[in-house]
Chains A and B, each alone.
Chain A
Amino acid sequence: MANDHDDFYVGYLPTPSAHRRFSKVALVAVLLCAGIAGAGIAWLMDDPGRGVWATETSELTGTLRLSPVAFLQTAAGPVLLVEPGKFGARDLEPIGDGSPVTVRGTTLERDGHRMIELTSGDDAVTRVGTAPTSITETEAARRVVIEGEIIDTKCYLGAMKPGEGRTHAACARLCIRGGIPAGVVGTADGRQIWAIIDPGEDGVISETMLNAVGKPVHIEGELTSRAGLAILRDARLHAGD
């Protein structure tokens, strides 16, 4: 019986040596190809940016601002406020725009832009005084065409890395629909731009704008600022984007 199959492979009989050799060579070749392809795929990933999401809870004091999105006005610049998960800040109207507050949460920061993810307890935002502070518009509105991308600010600032681009767009839309401020990053007239897109009355940017999240676009609007936060008002996409 041994001679019957010495040059022929049957799964339930001992494997002939030629077949054994072929299988070994094939396995080594496949492992080599997989290792090289895998290394290439990983080595050639895009730079996910330098966003950092702190692991420790911290406290920040400043002035609460609720328009056009919730943020904290501080001496060191504006800090966006959001909830855990893919949700914008809770209803802070009862505390009121302009109130001095202390907020508790974990900070996200990228390229000097900051956000704090509030802790889930009731004490995440507490009023620390009575006197409301007024704001002066520091920058006159100017018309710009920004070449860049619409992003959800939470993922972009470090909740996910990368937190931008096509592959992340489904997540970004979920975040923006959940109330996380939509932003635009890019350039206008050769200058770097980072601005929050004014969501208007609805609280969420338009469906057209949502569809364009994560793609390279031209977006036009009035660039202005409120309490240090750059804002793009009356934003609209250029045709074709």
Chain B
Amino acid sequence: MSVEFRLVQWNTHKKVYDLAVTALVLVSIGSIVGVGLAAFPPPGEVSPPILLMRALGATAVIMLHVILAIGPLARLTTLAAPLLYNRRHLGVAFFLIALLHALVATGFYGGFGHGVWLVNVVTGGYRTGGEVPFELLGFLALLIFFAMAATSHDFWLSFLGPRVWKWLHMLVYAGYALVVGHVMLGAAAERATPVWPALLGVGITGLTTLHLAAGLRSLREHQAAEGESNWADAGEAASIPDDRARIVRLPSGDSVAVFRQGDRLTAMSNVCAHQGGPIGEGKIVDGCATCPWHGYQYRPEDGCSPPPYTEKLPTYSVRVRGSRVEISTTPNELGTPSAAGILDGDDHGE
């Protein structure tokens, strides 16, 4: 794999992805503004800034659902991998739309008077009693989305470390809950028709179903039986498809990807060093195990990314006992060559 090739193709894919994101934004805002103008002609019109604010808020909510659906979808089918590949762009676009919504809302409802426009609105107009102002929930959600958008670049991933970064990005679910509260206490409580509860009900049900289905799937992983000292059984060697892997869960809880390339069997951590993607759902491309999420690559023999990249994954020693493959229960030292298991001549192939 050459660096140059990677850059050029990445750009094409990025362009197509950004076009799709733009189409989503245009269709969503366009349908709301279009129908809003047509269904409410003057003198019964909705003020243009309010119509725009509503269109932006609703578009942000729609985008948030798409963002949250892509993760579990990609775990259910690798066909969804292209949707995941540049999800960051969708995330940043979503944040900008939500920010615009907040700017129009705070500017229009909080401006033109005493005080600071942002504070005027976020405090619900300095309300001193009663329930939490719905605007405050939107503001807190926006803060979370800002933190995520600002740290979406891989620089922050390596700067913060995968743990903190992952934790930060799990906050998206808290943000989602805040947005649901923002809409339910605000627009939904005001409107005469339950269009928002209905739409959010569909959204929450859909997302929950997808996440449950994806979770069930990872429960179906092969559980490695504890074998003799430090070796665990990882199933039939020959039933691992060529250039593919089987994901095996060790008694220690570690998830391991056992790859087969012809008669060679190797094992490495199933957790990608980039964003924790499932290496074992990937494939051997150009001799390297390739992550299905963003294509990071690792050499099966030592778990290192090919130069100029420097990522390393722990590997596990592999041996073949009859037709079964066994892996060591503890990982090898990072970056060191690892023992491969070799299948006998007629044991492999489909």
Contacts and interface: CB of A to CB of B under 8 A. Distances in A.
A143 interface: no
B113 A178 contact: yes
B81 A86 contact: no
Contacts of B125: 169-174, 177, 210, 213
B62 interface: yes
Interface size class, chain B: 35 or more
Nearest to A1: B286
Is the contact region of chain A dominated by helix, strand, or loop, or is it mixed? helix
Contacts of B189: 166
B27 A174 contact: no
Nearest to B284: A4
A41 B58 contact: yes
Interface string B91-115: 0000000000000000011101111
Interface string B283-296: 11110001010110
Contacts of A178: 113-114
A61 B108 CA distance: 32
Contacts of B243: 4
Nearest to A166: B190
Contact of A37 (B58, B133, B186, B190): B58
Nearest to A41: B58
Interface in A35-57: 35-52
B13 interface: yes
Contacts of A15: 13, 82
Contacts of B34: 42
Given A10-B290, A12-B13, A173 B114 contact: no
B32 interface: yes
A18 interface: yes
Given A4-B284, A44-B195, A45-B39, 10 more contacts: A8-B290, A10-B290, A13-B295, A34-B24, A34-B27, A37-B58, A38-B59, A42-B39, A175-B113, A177-B114
29 contacts: A8-B282, A9-B81, A11-B13, A11-B82, A12-B295, A18-B79, A22-B82, A26-B83, A30-B24, A31-B23, A31-B24, A34-B31, A38-B59, A40-B199, A42-B39, A42-B55, A43-B35, A44-B195, A45-B46, A46-B190, A48-B46, A160-B47, A162-B46, A166-B190, A167-B186, A170-B125, A170-B127, A207-B128, A210-B127
Interface of A: 1, 4-5, 8-15, 18-20, 22-23, 26-27, 30-31, 33-52, 85-87, 160-162, 165-175, 177-178, 207-208, 210-211, 213
- A-B pairs, top 10 by smallest CB distance, nearest first, are A86-B113, A173-B125, A38-B31, A170-B125, A42-B35, A171-B109, A22-B79, A42-B36, A10-B295, A85-B112
Interface of B: 1, 5-7, 9-10, 13, 20, 23-24, 27-36, 39-40, 43-47, 50-51, 54-55, 58-59, 62, 66, 77-83, 85-86, 108-110, 112-115, 120-121, 123-130, 133-135, 186-187, 189-193, 195-196, 199, 243, 282-286, 290, 292, 294-295
